[in-house]
A = this chain, B = another copy of it.
């Protein structure tokens, strides 16, 4: 349930205000050089306090690799790692234990498990994504050795609110309100032939990976939803033989994937994030007995998480691509 991947798997654990977040990255090929300083810098990209609208917590998030890497190289054994939770003020969260925050997992988690760790959202906190980024940072280093790069950016498409002016952002923060937005992720250098043609289509795996990121409400690749408003002639990616002898397509409406399998073109996808659910203003809700209560802002929360989401998106993309790269090796005897 807390594992993703087939050959390359990531299993994560950790509650927001427990001792540590962590994970196990299993199935990494052996002998791959990993630069732990570079890894730490990648994880730092996810930290708060780096852009306007993000919270002022300093989580530090020092990565502690416990196994699987020795003398700078992967051993082929599982890479266990933890990131200690250092700045947890549980007292802030006592009110949450008694009521359900709207648009959070409080109610559904309690209905599912009959018990809930209210401190900072517990397991349902977006803090869990730190484990994804640690694993993703390792995998991205492996991909770069294969000439594959992954880059996510906040996308000004569809009039998404995330790309607002500093003035607008200040007003949002002042009102205790929040924003969402769209992230576009492009993967370059993917060889032809990755992805499984039926249920494991490459874009289906990417969709599942992206939709598993907290707050994501939509996924599309290539021309995505716009495909629905076009004629077949308009979106044909005609093949051409290039000067270097390789085959490619003149256009890329397909977003680098055809029939669920990569075709060598850039893989392009967009991911829609809902506005941060925790408002910094009073919100009406109910307590566990169903009585109406007003929830007052507690904890410290970002007004927009989009910039923090970029390394998360890149990490999930990287996990899917390397997993499929490895599976591809088994297609012939």
Contacts and interface: CB of A to CB of B under 8 A. Distances in A.
Interface stretch (A35-43, A54-62, A113-121): A113-121
A89 interface: no
B330 A228 contact: no
Given A235-B103, A272-B225, A11 B11 contact: yes
A16 to B, nearest CB: 10
Interface in A177-230: 177-182, 192-201, 203-205, 207-209, 211-212, 214, 217-225, 227-230
Contacts of A75: 15, 113, 115-117, 122-123
Contacts of A151: none
Interface residues of A, number: 151
10 contacts: A19-B65, A31-B113, A73-B115, A100-B239, A112-B194, A114-B331, A160-B229, A182-B228, A236-B283, A247-B290
Main secondary structure of the interface of A (DSSP, over half): mixed
A241 B199 CA distance: 40
Interface in A43-81: 64-68, 70, 73-80
Nearest to A251: B102
A248 to B, nearest CB: 10
Given A76-B331, A217-B225, 8 more contacts: A13-B79, A13-B80, A22-B80, A75-B113, A198-B212, A207-B211, A247-B286, A326-B330
A161 B231 contact: yes
B217 A224 contact: yes
A254 B128 CA distance: 21
A207 B162 CA distance: 24
Contacts of A328: 112
B219 A178 contact: no
A204 B161 CA distance: 24
A106 B263 CA distance: 10
A91 B227 CA distance: 32
Interface centre among A1, A207, A228, A263 (most CB of B within 10 A): A228
B208 A218 contact: no
Given A217-B220, A261-B111, A327-B330, A67 B208 contact: no
A182 to B, nearest CB: 5
B123 A77 contact: yes
A274 interface: yes
A266 interface: no
Nearest to A29: B333
A24 interface: yes
B228 A273 contact: yes
A167 interface: no
A207 B235 contact: no
